[in-house]
Amino acid sequence: MAQLLTGIQMFPAESMEPFCVEDVQKYLKVIESGQRQDLIARNIQRGPDHGIPPYSETCSWNKALNETPGDLWRKLGIVYTHPADIDLFTGGLSEAPSRGSVFGETSSGVFFTHGPGTNENTFDRYQIRNMTRRFGDFLCDNIDVLKEIRENVFELDSLINSCDQKHLLDLKIFLK
């Protein structure tokens, strides 16, 4: 296992794309009766069901226009009658990734911050900083023979660092 985990840093990661594979649509969500559900369709339906505002209310139009590639705008125009009809899930998937992330700015904000301190289930800034560990930190923690690791194991030209320089995970700060 150690060789497998160490070896993955020798190959580039696949690029993020705004499309979902058929397996996610047809096989990821199976209910008790054995019937399959389209997880993507469910996520799109959840927005209005839970009162989540559309993408246009979550992100300014200037940002949306700058962060969504033009070819995707054309495709969204085929599916949606008006830009204000685009749901948050679809809009978030359509954004170009932020620097150092596979998510666009809107999705990053939704998934990771939720405005720290706005409710009892959000993380405070110390917890968020603690969670910014990289996959390389995880590998250093779990592979005893590993002494060095790439700063970003998914980028072949990334600098190589000593495992002694990794970010430590402090689980105590999550106890309340």
Taking the domains of the chain in order of start, what are their residue ranges? 16-111, 123-174
- Tokens representing 150 are 């790439």
Rounded to two decimals, the pTM is: 0.56
Q: Which of 108, 173, 168, 103 is nearest to 138 (CA)?
A: 168
- Tokens representing 7 are 């070896």
pLDDT (tens digit per residue) in 86-111: 888 888 888 878 777 777 888 777 76
Binned at pLDDT 50, 70 and 90, residue 134 comes out as: confident
Phi, psi dihedral angles at 87 (to 5 degrees): -75, 160
How is residue 145 annotated by DSSP?
T
pLDDT (tens digit per residue) in 63-89: 666 666 677 778 888 888 888 888 888
Report, as an integer, the average pLDDT of 137-160.
84
| Percent composition of the chain: helix, strand, coil (DSSP 3-state, to 5) | 50, 5, 45
* Predicted pLDDT of residue 153: 81
Under 8 Å between Cβ of 56 and 71: no
Is the sign of the CA dihedral 41, 62, 105, 52 positive or negative? negative
In this model, does residue 117 exceed pLDDT 70? no
Report, as an integer, the average pLDDT of 118-146.
77
- Inter-CA distances, 122 with 78, 99, 117, 128, Å: 37, 24, 6, 9
Under 8 Å between Cβ of 36 and 29: yes
Mean pLDDT of the chain: 77
- Inter-CA distances, 95 with 116, 155, 158, Å: 23, 21, 25
Phi, psi dihedral angles at 140 (to 5 degrees): -60, -40
Binned at pLDDT 50, 70 and 90, residue 162 comes out as: very high
* Predicted pLDDT of residue 52: 84
Under 8 Å between Cβ of 163 and 140: yes
In this model, does residue 113 exceed pLDDT 60? no
